[in-house]
Amino acid sequence: MIERIPFGRTGHMSSRVIFGAAALGGMRQERADQILELLLQHGINHIDTAASYGDSELRLAPWLATRRSDFFVASKTGERAASGARAQLEQTLERLGIDQLDLIQMHNLVDEQEWRTAMSAGGALEALAAARDEGLVRFIGVTGHGTQVAAMHQRSLNEFEFDSVLCPYNFTMMQQPEYARDFNALVRRCEEREVAVQTIKSVARRRWSDDDSDKRFSWYMPITDAGALERAVAFVLSRPGLFLNSTSDATVLPRILEAAQGTNAAPAEASLLADVADLGMQPLFVRGVSDTI
């Protein structure tokens, strides 16, 4: 079974692999049920979805009707104003068929103007804090993409006691000194405050190119080589306290779950550099070049 550790200060012991339910967005219920059975087999007890993930919430609903207590359920809102965030939260609860979310997250809060709107009076945070007071959610987090996200999360933590953060973390991203500096500073801050740190893009190989003929189940090309994928997973899980949110490409999920049950010893840097060279791996986000999805 996959290791479980405290999810920040929430009191929940979460599996270190968190199921990224974006993978369910375009699935039929039968296929989604097979995926959810796989999660139980590996001891996954934490699910991360979002209002923007297609039919993901609807695919989860039949399971939560009978297994709500088995999972810590997180979702996200991309709305920045209080009214929109409240409406989207209520829609999420209805679609999931539950009365309370464990975690609601402000989704991809990186843009300066959006950040100011969401964090100000009449903004999304105000609505989510009120929903927490009402018992509709238990905890509040913040997520993001790009190379500015770790620094922006630090700003967010200065303004509010968020319970979790989420941002990219993999070997190629951490080869960029500015991002590595910001990410490491964020982790130190979160350790001090007992804020859960979730990571995404663990098995990202590179962005798709026009010449790629592979089927696309995610906006980026995942690592599929068995050895490289195992090392990519170990790169994340060998760092104490980090959570790995699985990719939206469900075809890769079984291999991620298998890899996560290993010793997760830190891979040799030489092996990771060889994977980069052999697979043509590139960071998904480069400051000033490709900082958005």
How confident is the model over 169-211, as pLDDT tens digits?
Answer: 999 999 999 999 999 999 999 999 999 999 999 999 999 998 8
Q: Can you tell me the distance from the alpha carbon of 155 to that of 186, in angstroms, rounded to the nearest whole number?
A: 10
* Residues 18-58 pLDDT 10s: 999 999 998 999 999 999 999 999 999 999 999 999 999 99
Residue with tokens 């953060």: 165
How is residue 196 written in tokens?
């859960």
The percentage of residues in the chain with a pLDDT greater than 90, rounded to a whole number, is 94
Domains and CATH numbers, the chain: 4-279 (3.20.20.100)
Residues 6+ apart with CB under 8 A from 190: 8, 157, 165, 196, 197
Question: Is the CB of residue 80 less than 8 Å from the CB of residue 117?
Answer: yes
Question: Is the CB of residue 200 less than 8 Å from the CB of residue 167?
Answer: yes
pLDDT at 214 over 90: no
Q: Can you tell me the distance from the alpha carbon of 284 to that of 126, in angstroms, rounded to the nearest whole number?
A: 32
Integer-rounded Cα radius of gyration of the chain: 18
* Residues 121-165 pLDDT 10s: 999 999 999 999 999 999 999 999 999 999 999 999 999 999 999
pLDDT at 85 over 80: yes
Residues 6+ apart with CB under 8 A from 100: 93, 135, 136, 137, 138
> By CB neighbour count within 10 A (0-12 exposed, 13-18 middle, 19+ buried), where does 270 fall?
exposed
So what's the pLDDT on residue 217?
A: 84
Question: Is the CB of residue 80 less than 8 Å from the CB of residue 124?
Answer: yes
